[in-house]
A and B are shown apart, each in its own frame.
Chain A
Amino acid sequence: MREANPILLSFQRQLFFSGVQSALPVLLSGILCSVVIFRISGTFMPWQDGGEVAALLADLSSDLLAILIPGLIFCARSISAITSELGLMQINGEIRALNRLGIPISSYIILPRVAGASVALVLLYIYFIAAVVASCIVLDGSNSIVLSVISALKGVNAFDFTLGIIRSALFASILVWRSSRTLKKQKRGIPDVSRTASNAVLEAMMTLLVMEGIWQIAFR
Chain B
Amino acid sequence: MLFVNIMSLQNLSSVNDKLAERLYIECEAATVQAVFDKLCRCLVIRGVPFSFLSPVEGNLISNISVAENICLPLIWHSRGELEEVENRIKEFLTVISSIHKVEEERILEILQARPYELGLYEYDLALMLRVFIRKPKVIVIDPEWFMAINSSIWHSCELLSILFGQLVWIVPINKPSKLPGFELGCWHHFSDPEDLMQLRGEWV
Contacts and interface: CB of A to CB of B under 8 A. Distances in A.
Interface of A: 1-3, 5-6, 9, 85, 88-89, 92-94, 96-103, 108
A85 B64 CA distance: 12
Contacts, number: 70
Given A1-B86, A3-B82, A96-B37, A89 B63 contact: yes
24 contacts: A1-B85, A1-B86, A1-B89, A3-B71, A3-B75, A3-B82, A6-B68, A6-B72, A92-B59, A92-B62, A93-B56, A94-B62, A96-B37, A97-B57, A97-B58, A97-B59, A100-B37, A100-B52, A101-B44, A101-B76, A102-B41, A102-B44, A103-B72, A103-B76
Interface of B: 33, 36-37, 40-41, 43-44, 52, 56-59, 61-64, 67-68, 71-73, 75-77, 79, 82, 85-86, 89, 111
Contacts of B44: 101-102
Given A89-B61, A102-B76, 11 more contacts: A1-B71, A3-B82, A6-B68, A9-B68, A93-B56, A94-B61, A96-B57, A97-B61, A99-B40, A101-B44, A101-B73
Q: Please indicate which of the listed interface residues A5, A9, A92, A101 has the most CB atoms of chain B within 10 Å of its own CB.
A: A101
A102 B82 CA distance: 19
A102 B89 CA distance: 22
Contacts of B59: 92-94, 97
**Chain A binding surface, main DSSP class:** helix
Sort A-B residue pairs by CB-CB distance and give the 9 closest, nearest first. Answer: A93-B57, A102-B44, A100-B40, A97-B58, A3-B71, A101-B73, A94-B61, A96-B57, A103-B76
A101 B72 contact: yes
A36 to B, nearest CB: 39
Nearest to B76: A103
Contacts of A89: 61-63
Nearest to B68: A3
Contacts of B40: 99-102
Given A96-B57, A97-B59, A3 B73 contact: no
A92 B77 CA distance: 23
Contacts of A88: 62
Nearest to A85: B63
Contacts of B73: 101-103
A102 to B, nearest CB: 3
A3 B37 contact: no
A93 B62 contact: no
A94 B64 CA distance: 11
